[in-house]
Amino acid sequence: MENLEIQPKSVKMTHLSWPIIWWTLMFALAYSVIRYHLMGGVPWKDFPFFILNKAISLSALILLAINFTLGPLKNLGVGISNRWMKSRRLVGIVGFIQVFIHVFMSFILFKPAIYPKYFEEAGTITLMVGLSLLGGVLGFVFLWMYNVSFNSNFRNDKDLLKFITSRKVLLIAMLFTGGHLFFIGINGWLNPAGWHGGMPPISLVGFTFFLVGYIINLAGRKDK
Q: Please state, as a whole number, how many other Cβ atoms lie within 10 Å of the Cβ of residue 2.
A: 19
C-alpha 46/C-alpha 56 separation (Å) is 14
Give the model's pLDDT for residue 163. 80
Confidence of residue 152 (pLDDT cuts 50, 70, 90): low
pLDDT of 36 above 80: yes
Q: Are 39 and 16 in contact (CB under 8 A)?
A: no
Domains of the chain in start order, with CATH, are 17-220 (1.20.120)
Full DSSP string of 103-137? HHHHHHH-STTT-GGGB-TTSPBPHHHHHHHHHHH
pTM (predicted TM-score) = 0.89
Mean pLDDT of the chain: 89
User: Average pLDDT of 111-135?
Assistant: 93
Q: Are 41 and 112 in contact (CB under 8 A)?
A: no
In tens, the pLDDT along 12-31 reads 568 899 999 999 999 999 99
In tens, the pLDDT along 61-80 reads 999 999 999 999 999 999 99
User: Average pLDDT of 24-43?
Assistant: 97
Q: Which residue has the higher pLDDT, 165 or 52?
A: 52
Confidence of residue 146 (pLDDT cuts 50, 70, 90): confident
Give the model's pLDDT for residue 157. 67
pLDDT of 10 above 70: no
Q: How distant, in Å, are the alpha carbons of 48, 49, 83, 172, 201 from that of 214? A: 32, 30, 23, 10, 20
C-alpha 33/C-alpha 155 separation (Å) is 41
- Give the percent of the chain with pLDDT over 70: 90
Confidence of residue 166 (pLDDT cuts 50, 70, 90): confident
Give the model's pLDDT for residue 41. 93
